[in-house]
Structure 1
């Protein structure tokens, strides 16, 4: 029984933590980063301020944690699609398309919060992992003769990521798909 009890408590804590993160992000989108208070977050999350302070000490920490959670979710999605079947070039196309769609779907709120938050080690680490994932696929594709080998993979990875970040500015998925095609065709 104690193990089940601990699992129940941990599940509840995770739900409260997620409610706090989601409430803070929603409030930041509505009122701006500096327009959010701990009291507003507690009210939106449906908890007391004392409970909120048991989880987080300030608004910036909450929003930074929300951003890191989003980055981790996106990286996990990219790793999952990378491990699908196909040649290295096909897997690269799927990863790049997924990345572009993530950039497109999350453009407004992620970009707004990311610009306002001071970058920290966790955020920088997520970008490093993303670069490594893309470089690995580019290297596999180059060794298999599917992708260009005349430019270092580190440069191609940076080019690809920066180009696909533009998807966040597009109005529709058709434009995102065209961008992915342009980037992938430049890697062949």
Structure 2
């Protein structure tokens, strides 16, 4: 890569980084392209050359936000232990991230809510969907290993069960923890307790 191309890539990554921060702090609707240009230290005309529409930048920030999840899943798939132990490690990872209420999780929740309410598909959303597809594809070796090593039940559709567990656990955790400040009452069972119980139920449902 030439120095010029490297500088361009670094500028794009800075733009996406600052956009993600501003979107998280102020919401997608309130942030203007001028705000992002100012934060990145570039002219707004330069910003529009890279991202002609704000929604393109929103998707780019969402893709960047999702990449660490893909990398983490790939690490789990190549880790040690039985398929069941690696699935448990994935759920533990989700559990820890959700308890920390990281900006990473908050941004993804906000983006998916935003994307679901727009009138037409966001430009470039196919890239985000493709990364999600790659994440699910990383589970294929886990599924096959579970069949071979006998750590998953043999009387169920393992692929359907694993994918459902991952999707449901992530969605439930985001909803109950990220929204607990507006829906959690003192007499309720704490969100962390509910999430831990759900994890144990899921693991018990697939363990041989």
TM-score of the superposition, structure 1-length normalised?
A: 0.82
2: CA distance, partners of 1:9 / 1:73 = 27
SS at match of 1:47: coil
Whether 1:82 aligns to 2:61 is no
Per-residue CA distance 1:57-99 (angstroms, 9 max, x = gap): 1110011011112222210111012211122222222233334
Equivalent pair of 1:36/1:59 in contact (CA under 8 Å): no
Which of 148, 153, 160 aligns to 1:155? It is: 160
Equivalent pair of 2:152/2:158 in contact (CA under 8 Å): no
CA RMSD of aligned residues (A): 2.6
Per-residue CA distance 1:141-166 (angstroms, 9 max, x = gap): 13211111222123202321233112
Aligned to 1:35: 30
Aligned to 2:47: 52
Per-residue CA distance 1:131-184 (angstroms, 9 max, x = gap): 232343133113211111222123202321233112223379954555433322
Which of 90, 105, 108 aligns to 1:107? It is: 105
Equivalent pair of 1:89/1:141 in contact (CA under 8 Å): yes
1: CA distance, partners of 2:60 / 2:135 = 18
2: CA distance, partners of 1:88 / 1:31 = 41
Segments of 5+ residues of structure 2 without an aligned counterpart are 116-120, 181-189
How many pairs were matched up?
Answer: 183
Q: State how 1:93-172 maps to structure 2 within 5 Å.
A: 93-102=88-97, 105=102, 106-117=104-115, 118=121, 120-165=125-170, 166-168=172-174, 169-170=176-177
Equivalent pair of 1:163/1:183 in contact (CA under 8 Å): no
Equivalent pair of 1:81/1:94 in contact (CA under 8 Å): yes
Segments of 5+ residues of structure 1 without an aligned counterpart are none
Larger proportion of helix? 1
Aligned to 2:206: 187
TM-score of the superposition, structure 2-length normalised?
A: 0.75
Which of 26-35 and 41-50 deviates more?
26-35
2: CA distance, partners of 1:82 / 1:158 = 14
Equivalent pair of 1:27/1:41 in contact (CA under 8 Å): yes
